[in-house]
Amino acid sequence: MRLSKDDILKAADTQTEEVDVPEWGGTVLVRGLTGTERDEYEASLMVRRGDQMVMNTANGRAKLIAKCVVDDDGRRLFTDQDANALGEKSGKALDRLFDVASRLSGLREEDVKEATGNFSTADGTRSPSASPAISE
């Protein structure tokens, strides 16, 4: 079936998954990022050093979790500003949620390689058009 513009724009295509977080005494609902949210997340990991943009993964797990943990209506529980407070929570709990959020958002290294065909430039570096992968 060939999809129309309306078919695509109406599709409910973000996945959610309930994740047990025993460290916090319950479960949370994790939703994969939209395209816009993924771009915002990836941009939040970049900093300018001199005349170059480099990856800075400081508090990257909490930044992703803040964007992906939602309530039953799909609304974010945390703002981007809550990421610092989230970063102070259990590393084990954050790891578990980060893994699920990464998988649902296509951010795992193997997801990015599959999507980009592992493009690289002539000098062996990753193509600038290839999205940065998040290492697990």
3-state secondary structure of 9: helix
pLDDT in tens, 55-111: 988 999 999 999 999 999 999 999 999 999 999 999 999 999 999 999 999 997 765
> Could you say which of 3.40.1010.10, 3.30.2220.20, 3.40.50.10190, 3.40.50.970 is the CATH number of the domain covering 15-116?
3.30.2220.20
pLDDT value at 52 more than 70: yes
- Backbone phi, psi, residue 35, to 5°: -60, -45
Q: What CA–CA distance (Å, rounded) separates 14 from 4?
A: 19
pTM over 0.75: yes
Quick one: how far is CA 126 from the chain centroid? 20
Quick one: how far is CA 52 from the chain centroid? 23
Q: What is the pLDDT of residue 118?
A: 46
Q: What is the pLDDT of residue 113?
A: 52
pLDDT value at 40 more than 90: yes
pLDDT value at 115 more than 50: no
Q: What is the pLDDT of residue 109?
A: 73
pLDDT value at 122 more than 80: no
